[in-house]
Structure formats: structure tokens, C-alpha cells
Amino acid sequence: MDTLRTTRRSQDAINAGSMADIAFLLLIFFLVTTTMDIEQGLLRRLPPVADAPATPAAARNVFQVHINAAGELLLGNERVELDELRERAVEFLTNPEGRSDLPTMRPITEAICREQIAAQVPGPVRELWQQRLATVRMIGSYVEPPAEAQMIIQTAPLTQYAQYVRVQDVLEGAVVSVRDVIAQRAFGKPFKELQPHDPKDRERMVALQRAVPLRLGDADLKDF
């Protein structure tokens, strides 16, 4: 009876001294099993497998980069370095001097859009013009490359992946720098500083992506 009474009387506090040790163990467990690296990379869309062979694009509308096994870059028959490749890609994307061996750019202004929307019957073509009108309203008049204009990377089986990624990076960099010029003029900040989560910036990004699309293909992917 005596012992029963004593236990009831003294309600000892639980010793919290080992709490820190338990927390430390948990902490170390999480440190070991988790990673902090942010997933990032170059997002691309592969072309779907085509049933019928596509009609080949005109030579002026194709910017073909060949990377050989040694990692050297060939543009047509010409050896180029990475910096030069970037400049040439920008030239291909904008064709500022209207050269005949580069894609013909089509000027898009609000007046042209209105004219076309009025002239077209409802359908996909008219929708395209309405899209262009929306883009013009966002970024002002711009020039549009032909739909078949695209950059193509061709590799050799022994080409190093690192070089391929570098070329992908440089070509995307060229596209982004062209977008930057428009973004700076229209919104006062470069393309990369637009926030994808902000709805207003999102619209701006879409407009820029429509005006300067990233069309990057692989010559190695064959249809069969």
C-alpha cells in the first residue's frame, strides 16, 4: 500500500534530455536518404513517327549542323566554332538583310492581321491569324519565319553526348537571344526574367514563343 501511494503522489516529468538525440538521428536519416539537386535540363519534344515521308524542306529553310565523331561542327560544308554557330543561327532566325539563301521572313502587323481575319472563312487558318493578332497586340509588329524553317542537328555514332548537348544549348541560346531583343523592346526585360507562374508574364512568354519558335530537329531519327 505504501508503494502505491508514493507513485501516485510524485508525477515525475519525462526526461527530455534524449529528445535532441532522437531528432539528430532523424535529421541524419533525412540527410542521407534525400538529395537537394534541382532537376533541370533542356526540354525537347520528339517528332511523332510519321506514316508518310514528309516533303523535304527547301534548302534555304534548313539550318543543318553536323557534329562529327571528333566533336567538330560542320555547317553545310563549312567548319565552324561554337561562337560562330550561335551568330549564324541568329542570322538564320532573323535574316535581317533579306538574303536569298536564308528563310524569307513574313512581316506581321495589326493591319495585315485584321485584313486576313476579315477575308478568311472561319477555320484553322483564320484561328491562326487571330493568334497572330493577339501576338502583335502583345509585342508589336514582328517578322515570322516560314513554318518549315528549322534547325537540324546531325551526329555521328561516336559523337560525344556532351558536345551534342552543347550544340543544343547554343542553338536554344540563339533563339532566346532573338526573343530577348523583342522582349526588351516590348516589356523592358529579357525573356529569361519573365516569370512562368505569373499569368501576365505567361501570356508574354507564349507570344514570344509564337513569334520566335524553337524548331530543333534531329536528323538521326529515322522513320520506317
Partner 1 sequence: MSRFKDNSSKGTPAISTASLPDIIFMLLFFFMVTTVMREVDLLVKITLPEASETTKLEDKALVDYIYIGTPQAKALGSEPLMQLNDQFAKLDEIAGWVKAGEERREEVLIPKITRSLKVDKETNMKIVTEVKQELRKSNALKINYSTAQAR
Q: Is 97 in the site for partner 1 (CB under 8 A)?
A: no
CB 56 to partner 1: min, Å:
20
In the list 35, 55, 77, 100, the residue contacting partner 1 (rule: CB under 8 A) is: 35
Cα R_g (the chain), whole angstroms:
29
Residue 41 grid coordinates = 535540363
In the list 141, 160, 184, 195, the residue contacting partner 1 (rule: CB under 8 A) is: 160
Residue 164 grid coordinates = 551534342
CA–CA gap between residue 153 and residue 219 (Å, rounded): 6
Q: Binding pattern to partner 1, positions 5-34, x when CB under 8 A?
A: -----------xx-xx-xxx-xx--xx-xx
> Binders of partner 1: how many residues, by CB under 8 A?
48
Site residues (CB under 8 A) for partner 1, limited to 179-218: 218
Cβ–Cβ < 8 Å for 163, 67: yes
CA–CA gap between residue 133 and residue 111 (Å, rounded): 9
Cβ–Cβ < 8 Å for 214, 63: no
CA–CA gap between residue 222 and residue 159 (Å, rounded): 18
Cβ–Cβ < 8 Å for 189, 180: no
3-class secondary-structure state, position 72: coil
Among residues 39 and 101, whose Cβ is nearest to partner 1? 39
80, β-bridge pairs: 73
CB 37 to partner 1: min, Å:
8
Site residues (CB under 8 A) for partner 1, limited to 37-76: 38-49, 67
In the list 53, 157, 188, 199, the residue contacting partner 1 (rule: CB under 8 A) is: 157
Using CB under 8 A, list all residues that contact partner 1: 16-17, 19-20, 22-24, 26-27, 30-31, 33-36, 38-49, 67, 155-162, 164-166, 168-169, 172-173, 176, 218, 220-222
